[in-house]
Amino acid sequence: MDESNKYQFELAFKVRDYECDLQGVVNNSVYQNYLEHTRHEFLNAVGLNFAGLFNQGIVAVVARADIQYKYPLKSGDEFVCRLNVEKEGIKYLFHQSIYRLPDEKLCIKAIITTVTTKDGKLRVFKELDNAFLNVK
């Protein structure tokens, strides 16, 4: 079964040459930029804002990033980054994947675990729950 049809949010990108390293493919760390940007655009899409939350003292923190590299992206490749979020205790688990376009080749499969803090302490914010978990 192809899971790529079920997701709460997706964002399209195109590889930029400066993101490629001397192996001629996107550098491993750059995928985390793609994943982060997709999460932040997802926040925007559900009415929240990363920089805005930060200015209110609400800090969304990545506690763990578990990224499987399935297939490398190259100069000029177009791709989508897809996202689902679920709650587990006080954590949000973002299930994120990157598919090359137009052939839907799976490139990245990741689970990014985040927590939210205020004044340095772990806290749960109802507005995030509402925003995240009611999206279909």
* Site residues (vs its own copies, CB under 8 A): 16-18, 20-24, 27-30, 32-33, 36-37, 40, 44, 49-51, 54, 59, 61-69, 72, 74-76
Among the options 21, 66, 103, 119, which is catalytic?
Answer: 21
What is the 3-class SS of 20-61, one letter each residue? ECCCCEECHHHHHHHHHHHHHHHHHHCCCCHHHHHHCCEEEE
In the bound state with its own copies, the residue whose beta carbon lies nearer, of 5 and 55, is: 55
- Active site annotation includes 21: yes
In the bound state with its own copies, the residue whose beta carbon lies nearer, of 49 and 130, is: 49
> Is cis: bond before 102, omega within 30 of 0?
yes
Cβ 95 to its own copies shortest distance, Å: 15
**Under 8 Å between Cβ of 96 and 40:** no
Where do we find the tokens 């100069």? 75
**Under 8 Å between Cβ of 101 and 79:** yes
In the bound state with its own copies, the residue whose beta carbon lies nearer, of 67 and 135, is: 67
Selection from 81, 116, 113, 119 nearest residue 97 by Cα: 81
Residues with a catalytic annotation lie at 21
